[in-house]
Structure 1
Amino acid sequence: MRAVVIEQPGTVSVQDVPDPIPGPGDLVVAVRGAGICGTDIHLLDGELPYDRYPIVPGHEFYGEVVDVAGDIDRARIGRLVTVDPNMPCGACAECRRGRANLCERYEALGVTTDGAAAELVRVPAGLAYDLPADVSDVGAVLTEPLACAIHGFDGLPRRPQDRYLVYGAGTMGLMMGLLAADMTSEPVTVIEPNPSRRALAESFGMRAVSSPEEVDPDERWESVIDCTGVVEAIEDGLGRVRRGGVFQCFGVTETDAMVKLRPFDIYRNEITVIGSMAVHNSFDRAHRLAQVWGDEKLAPLVTHGYALDDYAEAIRTFRDGAGLKIAIRPGGLA
């Protein structure tokens, strides 16, 4: 089969590699769509604490089951599935206390083991969620990032009529905004310098501004969510949380980034600061919600499609910040 292979940090190519062979309890999935996200870039640049190169990237994907092994019902062959890429060990201290997303022996398809930037991928059957025959393609491609957004939203108070401020109108910021909009009749405020992304946020009914300077300095929000990972945005957002409110670090900063804050304000205003890491008890909800939202809400978020052999061009498009979600189509473009 054809697959994207990162030989070592900074070296990536599309190669002919052996087809995956399912072991007991595995499926083999013919990939229909695989999204590119920041994790793929970090993996390509050698910025993750894993050194398992060469590796096939790709952890946001769906496709058709084409083979099974062991006691897996062969009736699953031909079904469309979306796949949770995370493979917690289930035995470490974090897993045993119900925090599998913080697993001490972290494993994930497309991150620590071969993923879906390929024509075929082997997956544990228990991670595959059946999709309807009339599948929403964009909903299926976006299931994994939506599961991350839902986990992030699970950490917020989610009180009716709370007001939400989101920094960044990329794929994740818009998803967080859409989830927030379902909780309140108050417009979700989004700060985003990119005019096309602001326009998309506005098309979803959000109030979009280009910079913090456009927001009343005295305005405060119950939930402030940073989806940029930019230090300046985080520092600004911490000052915009209403007393008793929550600030969430959802975006990924550089590992050595430092933020200035006034601990007295955290104390005096009883502000809660929380993080959100990957997927946690949210994939099943995401795979159902993505199909409910379908093309109506999600189609604008998938802006580019590339054939597998054009992976390098897709990465350049991602790095340039053009569009939103970029999908790789190993079976070819429709």
Structure 2
Amino acid sequence: MKALVYTGPKKVEVQDVPVPEGRSGQAKVRMRFCGVCGTDIGIFAGKHPRAKAPLVLGHEFVGAVEEIKDGSGRFAPGDRVVAYPLLSCGHCLPCRTGQPHVCETLKLIGIDRDGGMADYAWIDEDVLFKVPDTVSDEIAALVEPLAVVVRSLHQARFNLLDTTVVTGAGPIGVLTAIVLKHSGASSIVISDVDEARLGLCREFGFETVNVGQTSLVDYIGESTGGEGVDIVFECSGVANAAAEMTKIARVGGTICMTGIHKEPRAVDLRDMNFKEQILVGSRVYTLREFGMSVAYAETLAADLEKVITQKVPLSGSASVFDMIADPDVNAVKVLVDCQA
């Protein structure tokens, strides 16, 4: 079968690899689409601490069941499915206390074992979710990043009519703003330095700030009368956002760390003291939140479709990371078509 294989830093190849063998309780899934994630970009760059070559990439995938070994009867050949990709140990403190999504040795399909940028994969039946008939394959491929966003709103304790800022207009930032819009935020400001991405955000009706040209702290100060916003969703992972997030959150406001910073950052902890702010982390999602996102994708389908900016065939996907890095391409969310 064909698969996009990470073979070393800055190296991926479309290879012919053996079709994996399944075991009892697994379904053989014929892949349809797989999203390219920021984590995949980090793996390609050789910066992910766990991903080891050779590795079939991809954890944001949708496919159709072809075969089930000793199944429970919940799925049948032809069912379209997405997979909760987290792999927990079941024994550590988080796992024992109902938090396996932050397992001490958490692993993921497509990072710690072969993933979905391939013709086929065998997936444990108990992590599969049926895709509603009304949801396209392309939209279903966004369920996993959508689950990241659902988790972050839960972590931030979002309330109806909250005022919000989203720092970073990458896929997760844009999805965060979309979910905020549908959840009843009274204002949504999203910041970035990429004017093309900010242009997409304006199409959704979001306020935008190009922080390469305008101070976000000044903008929020002026627009809120110096009060700040209820919740800041930090989705950029960059140093400037970390330095400014306490400045733009109000007294008693919440800062949700949705994006993962790859190194320590300077944060004004005095602001957090004086303004009694809440700083909360958000890593991935629970099994329940992933299931919620499968259903929620149907409601958001029209907006989610606009986030998909490019689709590339699996057969030509060896250049996908170069394409994403090209500023002239204006990529937001890229899908690999696993049947092309």
Q: Does TM-score exceed 0.5, indicating one fold? A: yes
Indicate the residue corresponding to 1:28 in structure 2.
28
Change (3 A) 1:288 1:51: closer
CA contact (8 A) 2:35 2:61 kept: yes
Unaligned runs of 5+ in 2: none
- Cα deviation digits, residues 253-293 of structure 1 (max 9, x gap): 22x332141x3321121101111101223100111101222
Indicate the residue corresponding to 1:271 in structure 2.
277
What is the letter of the counterpart of residue 128 of structure 2?
Answer: A
Percentage of identical aligned residues: 27
Q: In 2, distance between residues paired with 1:51 and 1:201?
A: 32
Does 1:228 find its partner at 2:254? Answer: no
Q: In 2, distance between residues paired with 1:8 and 1:103?
A: 27
- Cα deviation digits, residues 128-177 of structure 1 (max 9, x gap): 11112343233201000000111111111212221001111221111111
CA contact (8 A) 1:308 1:330 kept: yes
Does 1:140 find its partner at 2:140? Answer: yes
The alignment's TM-score, normalised by the length of structure 1, stands at: 0.93
What is the letter of the counterpart of residue 289 of structure 1?
Answer: Y
CA contact (8 A) 1:226 1:251 kept: yes
Greater mean deviation of Cα atoms: 41-50 or 26-35 = 41-50
Quote how far apart the aligned CAs of 1:34 are: 0.2
CA contact (8 A) 2:51 2:111 kept: no
Q: In 2, distance between residues paired with 1:290 and 1:8?
A: 34
Q: In 2, distance between residues paired with 1:208 and 1:94?
A: 38
Indicate the residue corresponding to 1:257 in structure 2.
264
Change (3 A) 1:55 1:258: same
Quote how far apart the aligned CAs of 1:71 are: 3.4
CA contact (8 A) 1:22 1:67 kept: no
Q: In 2, distance between residues paired with 1:75 and 1:326?
A: 28
Which one of 303, 323, 329 corresponds to residue 331 of structure 2?
323
Indicate the residue corresponding to 2:120 in structure 1.
120
Greater mean deviation of Cα atoms: 72-81 or 51-60 = 72-81
- Any idea what SS the aligned residue of 2:237 has? coil
- Any idea what SS the aligned residue of 2:108 has? coil
Q: In 1, distance between residues paired with 2:18 and 2:156?
A: 45
Change (3 A) 1:250 1:104: same
- Any idea what SS the aligned residue of 1:112 has? coil
The alignment's TM-score, normalised by the length of structure 2, stands at: 0.91
List aligned pairs for 1:10-49, cutoff 5 A.
Answer: 10-49=10-49
CA contact (8 A) 1:20 1:28 kept: no
Indicate the residue corresponding to 2:176 in structure 1.
176
Q: In 2, distance between residues paired with 1:184 and 1:268?
A: 29
Change (3 A) 1:277 1:74: closer
Unaligned runs of 5+ in 1: none
Change (3 A) 1:277 1:141: same
Change (3 A) 1:180 1:133: closer
Q: In 2, distance between residues paired with 1:284 and 1:75?
A: 15
CA contact (8 A) 2:4 2:318 kept: no
Indicate the residue corresponding to 1:213 in structure 2.
215
Which one of 275, 282, 287 corresponds to residue 289 of structure 2?
282
CA contact (8 A) 1:61 1:82 kept: yes
Q: In 2, distance between residues paired with 1:127 and 1:15?
A: 27
Change (3 A) 1:75 1:145: closer
Q: In 2, distance between residues paired with 1:270 and 1:246?
A: 9
- Any idea what SS the aligned residue of 1:138 has? helix
Quote how far apart the aligned CAs of 1:75 are: 5.5
Which one of 228, 247, 251 corresponds to residue 255 of structure 2?
247
CA-atom RMSD in angstroms: 1.8
CA contact (8 A) 1:34 1:117 kept: yes
Number of residue pairs aligned between Structure 1 and Structure 2: 329
Quote how far apart the aligned CAs of 1:297 are: 1.1
CA contact (8 A) 1:5 1:57 kept: yes
Quote how far apart the aligned CAs of 1:51 are: 5.1
